[in-house]
Homo-oligomer: A and B are copies of this chain.
Amino acid sequence: MAGDVFDKNCPSRGVLEHVTSRWGVLVLAALGERELRFGELHRRIGGVSQKMLAQTLRTLADDGFVERTVIPAAPPQVSYRLTETGEQVAGHVVGLVGWIEQHLPEILAAREATPAR
């Protein structure tokens, strides 16, 4: 009943791609810190367009990782937070991202060492 990502027809592939998508990772990492509004997310995640942010939030919401809350007001406010399962995936993502940030120097050093190509 569990998935197998090595099987090209397994639906876990899709989920994995949503989570590890270019902006998906960063959205999960950002929401892993705290609940954020659309505009806050937009500012927090450098370089993301409104279009891609909205699209990414939608697929993550569809998979049940993110919850969207509309606060009726003028101007309107929409807030995003992780669901319970969202917290769990985000935990793994945050761990991965944190590791990369920490070890960036040695990775860049390895790249320098790469001979001509």
A: which residues have CB within 8 A of B?
1-9, 11-12, 15-17, 19-22, 25-26, 29-30, 44-47, 62-64, 85, 88-89, 92-93, 95-97, 99-111, 113-114
Contact = CB atoms under 8 A, between A and B. Distances in A.
A116 B113 CA distance: 52
A114 B62 contact: yes
Given A105-B1, A107-B85, A111-B62, A100 B11 contact: no
B25 A16 contact: yes
Contacts of A109: 64
B85 A5 contact: no
A73 B17 CA distance: 38
Nearest to A24: B20
The 4 A-B pairs with the shortest beta carbon distances in the complex, nearest first, are A64-B110, A8-B47, A8-B46, A3-B104
A4 B4 CA distance: 32
